Amino acid sequence: MKEISFKKEEIGKRVRLLREKFHLTESSFVSKIIVDGGKCSVSMLNRIENGKQLPTSEFLCSIKETFGVNIDELLFGKKITEVALLSELRNKGKSRNTVYQEYIRACYALCDNFKLDDEGITCMREAREKNSLPIDSVAKACRVSVKSIYRIEQGNTMISTKHLITYHNLFGLSADYIIANSFMDLPCELDSVLNGYSYYTQIELIKGFLRLAKEFSLL
């Protein structure tokens, strides 16, 4: 299997731009980040911003919670396409529009055609099984043991940033979703209704929401 590549320098640049966006010094920025139960160090931030080190998944979780960052945008420079399009509704402030309310009702009706996920399968396992990829192939791509992939796919261990990137490159999975178990930036009415559906069902529903948004002339 082809080795997965990524550019730490580009990720580091986006971390630096995030810090500068909030007009924070390095020391002020790291004071808000929790890593391994303690504060992130300035030296760690320097290594990340200079492309010498990947931010850990704990680092990503912390800046997501603190600054409302979309992890896909931070790691890959863009959001998942469907999520990015649907988030435009949120940004346009349509929540008090009568047409928008009719649209939301139509979205709820659409959900009735889909089955809720009763098994609680993680999106990593769902993606591998949907694509009929053996677990040892994923382990090889991640350069870890099959046992490690099993623990990741069961949600029993914290996934590393490198493995977040690998799952994204293998299956197109949202790193933001893997970390938070939900998509970010969606209209709150739609974000809540997606709870209980599997990852790929949510993607199909979001595509359906987009089709409805166009029918209602909201996009």
Distance of CA 203 to the CA centre of its chain: 12
Domain end among 20, 36, 69: 69
Mean pLDDT for all residues in the chain = 88
Q: Residue 2 domain-assigned?
A: no
Q: What is the pLDDT of residue 183?
A: 87
Domain end among 69, 96, 119: 69
Q: Which parts of the chain register pLDDT below 70?
A: 1-6, 36-39, 93-96, 118-119
Are residues 38 and 98 located together in one domain of the fold?
A: no
- Burial class of residue 136 in the structure, from the number of CB atoms within 10 Å of its CB (0-12 exposed, 13-18 middle, 19+ buried): exposed
What are the backbone angles phi and psi of residue 34, rounded to the nearest 5°? -105, 125
* Predicted confidence (pLDDT) per residue in 93-132, tens digit: 666 688 888 999 999 999 998 988 766 789 999 999 999 9
Are residues 152 and 199 located together in one domain of the fold?
A: yes
Question: Distances in Å between the alpha carbon of 113 and those of 56, 102, 201, 205?
Answer: 39, 18, 11, 10
| Euclidean distance between CA atoms 53 and 47, whole angstroms | 5
Its domain, for residue 167, covers: 79-219
Q: CATH number, domain at 163? A: 1.10.260.40
Domain count, the chain: 2
Are residues 146 and 200 located together in one domain of the fold?
A: yes
Are residues 191 and 214 located together in one domain of the fold?
A: yes
